[in-house]
């Protein structure tokens, strides 16, 4: 079936910010990630959408989908996923792919991951005329983090005006930090409005990406046996998508029910049950106040205390909501303010002895005001420098721990039995349900996927001593491979989406260079990456991040998750790709054959399957 995209209609009413993206980089500064220019002919959105998406270059309006691509789409939660293709519906053509740089719409790009990162990359590429883009995701729909994490209370920590794309601002968020369902719906709407939802193939778990030195292309293989060929690959698999369950002796013997917070069992009724929550990190802090209302008893097992700052996150009062929605500039001002507020958090983390101490004092006063019981306060108090681990924002968690049917256990868990959890003091905590709020395998990045670059070199081997990449994006020996939210691009005080946008613009520049120069690929110079990594690691010296163990570090203690500085620095560092930092690979022999202008469908056929999906 060939279907044309809905023509976006002009934005109506005041809810949507129609300012061209170029006018509003994330921090409002000129160092912002490059936004498309000229292409922003006012806000556009499909009828009925509540998200204002600023000017796609219009290229998406009339594009066509590959034959047979729509049939197997399955919706996720019944929403926009209707336009996505299922794994089995992928194009199965085995035509030779044309030159990387010459085809209209090329180079052909495969993006792995349809979370905020993958969608940001696809939007950026489409806006700049790259129409041969395919997004593969193992999940059943768009969303990434926000599709998986549906636990009670799941919400963003970062205010919505900042946790949203700069070019798709909403003015009608219901509260400061939106809930999971609202974020998911927002992402779907943006993907739909920008036309990239049609590029998504769901149920496609990528097992390997292999670079062919001779042909200078990537072969992306799925667990189901399908294969895609691409000139470039973008790995947008995130840092927080693989649930981590600690190995606890006897856990398989538990007679009750158990699940991970990212795999919430909504069929299981917690009412009247004795529930245990293992962990007190960011997810647990959102879960506990919600389920405390339902459970007969709630036991919270804490390994480490947290530093808290207040946040009530109630729905906006009507006058404030109306102000943001209808008064021009208010929403943009709030975004700027939140950006600077988040930068101030980073300032505190970078300077633990001064600013950090002040903010730590603010946190301590808040926690004291919330914890009236001195004994509980002692047990919950963090034993590490403020800002070393993620600072948590909640005005509900600590009060919930003081409810009569809620207990906090700080003795280490020694084993699980059929009845419940036994702690180091020998006490048995009898449970009907055990919830693992134990976070994610953060340092695994895209693994267990096998990524093989030039000369058959494996990324797992290259990263054996700790993950590293130039600006978190490119790795020597892995031509035309880009990582979104890669090593050292997490933020403790900011929005990941700011990084995503900067990364998308950067990799788009790299592919424009490839296209312009008719190259066979682009690869970061080894010495550039090594020098950048040394400088980056050196910037952690003296910061709070170095003062305790955390999920930001790998087994060797190296900090591999976080960017050591401010959001504005990352935007600045990535705003312009420096060609001298890269090598361009010679075009492949077949590049001599001039490519006829390709329709979107034809270009896509080149990028798609060498073999049908099983
Ligand atoms: C509960 C929770 C709350 C959070 N709150 C905040 C917050 O307040 N602010 C903030 O900035 N960040 C927050 N984060 C971090 C969050 O992960 C990022 O903000 C953002 O959503 C990451 O987007 P992403 O696209 O990079 O990765 P993800 O959203 O993780 O998406 C990765 C996608 O890749 C897919 N994938 C992975 N491996 C494969 C494979 N082999 N084959 C095919 N597909 C694959 C996954 O299915 C997934 O859809 C939070 C994370 C969690 C878990």
Q: Whose CA is nearest to atom 22 of ligand 1?
A: 238
Give the span between the Cα atoms of 558 and 324, in whole angstroms. 42
Report the alpha-carbon distance of residue 194 to residue 120 in Å, rounded.
Answer: 10
Q: In terms of Cα–Cα distance, which of 216, 111, 164 is closest to 454? A: 216
Q: How far is the CA of 519 from the centre of ligand 1 (A)?
A: 32
**Is 251-307+353-436 assigned to CATH 1.10.10.10?**
no
Euclidean distance between CA atoms 66 and 549, whole angstroms = 49
CB 129 within 8 A of CB 598: no
- Token output for 446: 């895209």
In the CATH scheme, what is the code of domain 12-37+81-240+445-589? 3.50.50.60
Helix (H) or strand (E) holding 509: helix 496-517
Handedness of CA 326, 329, 333, 335 (dihedral sign): positive
- Rounded distance, CA 73 to CA 270, Å? 33
Give 563 Cα–ligand 1 centroid separation in angstroms: 17
Q: How far apart, in Å, are the Cα atoms of 217 and each of 213, 279, 482, 520?
A: 7, 44, 14, 8
According to the model, what pLDDT value does residue 241 have? 87
Question: 119 CB less than 6 Å from ligand 1?
Answer: no
Q: Please identify every stretch of the chain with a pLDDT value under 70, giving residue numbers as ranges.
A: 1-104, 589-614
Assign 3-state DSSP to the chain and report helix, strand, coil percentages, each to 5. Answer: 30, 20, 50
Q: Tokens in use for 542?
A: 């003296």
What are the tokens at 25?
Answer: 């980089």
Residue of the nearest CA to atom 37 in ligand 1? 237
Ligand 1 atom closest to 500 (CA): 26
Q: Is the CB of 114 under 6 A from ligand 1?
A: yes
According to DSSP, the β-strands at 53-54 and 43-45 are antiparallel
- Return the pLDDT at 99: 34
Residue 145 Cβ inside 6 Å of ligand 1? The answer reads: yes
Same fold, 12-37+81-240+445-589 and 251-307+353-436: yes
Estimate to the nearest angstrom the gap between the alpha carbon of 240 and the chain centroid: 8
Using a 6 Å cutoff on CB, does residue 237 contact ligand 1? yes
Q: Tell me if 493 CB under 6 Å of ligand 1.
A: no
Q: What is the pLDDT of residue 124?
A: 98
Any idea where the domains of the chain sit in the sequence? 12-37+81-240+445-589, 251-307+353-436
In the reported structure, the alpha carbon of residue 189 is separated from the centroid of ligand 1 by a whole-number distance in angstroms of: 17
Are the beta carbons of 201 and 136 closer than 8 angstroms? yes
Q: Is the CB of 113 under 6 A from ligand 1?
A: yes
The continuous run of DSSP H or E covering 308 comes out as: strand 308-309
Q: Which contacts qualify for 376-384: CB closer than 8 Å, 24 or more apart?
A: 376/401, 376/402, 376/408, 379/302, 379/305, 379/408, 379/410, 380/302, 380/305, 380/408, 380/410, 381/305, 382/304, 382/305, 382/306, 382/307, 383/304, 383/305, 384/304, 384/547, 384/548
The H or E element containing residue 573 is helix 567-574
Span 509-541, pLDDT tens digits: 999 999 999 999 999 999 999 999 999 999 999
Q: How high is the pLDDT of residue 591?
A: 54
Determine the residue of 240, 495, 499 to mutate for testing ligand 1's pocket, defined as the one with the most ligand atoms within 8 A of the Cβ atom: 240
């Amino acid at each position: 079936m060939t279907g044309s995209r809905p023509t976006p209609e002009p934005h109506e009413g005041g809810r949507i910010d129609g300012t061209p993206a170029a006018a509003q980089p994330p921090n409002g500064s000129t160092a912002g990630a490059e936004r498309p220019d000229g292409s922003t002919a006012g806000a556009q959105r499909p009828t009925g959408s509540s998200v204002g998406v600023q000017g796609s270059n219009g290229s998406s309006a009339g594009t066509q989908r590959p034959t047979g691509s729509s049939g197997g789409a399955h919706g996720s939660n019944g929403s926009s996923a209707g336009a996505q293709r299922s794994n089995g519906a992928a194009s199965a053509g085995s035509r030779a792919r044309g030159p990387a740089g010459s085809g209209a719409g090329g180079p052909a790009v495969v993006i792995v991951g349809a979370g905020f990162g993958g969608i940001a990359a696809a939007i950026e590429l489409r806006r700049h005329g790259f129409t041969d883009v395919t997004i593969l995701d193992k999940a059943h729909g768009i969303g990434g983090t926000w599709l998986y994490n549906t636990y009670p209370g799941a919400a963003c920590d970062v205010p919505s005006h900042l946790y949203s794309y700069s070019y798709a601002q909403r003015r009608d968020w219901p509260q400061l930090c939106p809930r999971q369902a609202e974020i998911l719906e927002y992402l779907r709407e943006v993907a739909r409005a920008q036309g990239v939802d049609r590029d998504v193939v769901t149920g496609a778990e990528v097992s390997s990406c292999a670079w062919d030195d001779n042909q200078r292309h990537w072969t992306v293989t799925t667990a189901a046996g399908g294969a895609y060929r691409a000139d470039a690959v973008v790995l947008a698999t995130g840092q927080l998508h693989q649930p981590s369950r600690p190995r606890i002796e006897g856990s398989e013997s538990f007679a009750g029910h158990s699940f991970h917070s990212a795999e919430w069992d909504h069929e299981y009724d917690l009412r009247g049950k004795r529930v245990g929550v293992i962990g007190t990190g960011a997810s647990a802090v959102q879960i506990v106040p919600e389920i405390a209302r339902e459970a007969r008893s709630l036991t919270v097992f804490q390994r480490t205390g947290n530093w808290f700052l207040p946040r009530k996150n109630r729905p906006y009062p009507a006058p404030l909501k109306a102000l943001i929605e209808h008064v021009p500039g208010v929403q943009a001002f709030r975004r700027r303010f939140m950006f600077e507020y988040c930068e101030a958090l980073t300032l505190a983390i970078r300077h633990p002895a001064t600013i950090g101490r002040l903010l730590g004092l603010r946190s301590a006063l808040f926690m004291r005001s919330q914890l009236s019981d001195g004994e509980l306060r002692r047990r919950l108090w963090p034993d590490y420098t403020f800002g070393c681990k993620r600072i948590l924002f909640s005005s509900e968690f600590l009060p919930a721990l003081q409810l009569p049917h809620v207990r906090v256990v700080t003795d280490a868990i020694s084993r699980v039995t059929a009845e419940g959890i036994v702690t180091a003091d020998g006490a048995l905590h009898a449970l009907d349900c055990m919830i693992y709020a134990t976070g994610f395998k953060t340092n695994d990045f895209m693994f267990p996927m096998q990524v093989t670059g030039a000369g058959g070199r494996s990324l797992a081997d290259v990263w054996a001593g700790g993950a590293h990449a130039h600006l978190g994006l490119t790795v020597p020996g892995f031509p035309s491979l880009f990582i979104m939210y890669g090593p050292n691009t997490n933020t403790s005080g900011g929005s990941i989406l700011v990084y995503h946008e900067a990364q998308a613009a950067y990799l788009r520049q790299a592919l424009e260079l490839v296209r312009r120069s008719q190259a066979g690929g682009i690869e970061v110079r080894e010495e550039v990456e090594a020098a950048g990594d040394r400088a980056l690691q050196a910037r952690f010296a003296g910061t709070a991040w170095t003062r305790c163990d955390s999920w930001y570090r790998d087994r060797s203690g190296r900090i591999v998750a976080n960017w050591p500085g401010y959001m504005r620095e990352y935007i600045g560092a990535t705003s312009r790709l420096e060609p001298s930092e890269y090598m361009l690979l010679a075009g492949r022999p077949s590049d001599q054959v001039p490519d006829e202008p390709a329709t979107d469908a034809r270009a896509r056929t080149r990028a798609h399957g060498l073999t049908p999906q099983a």
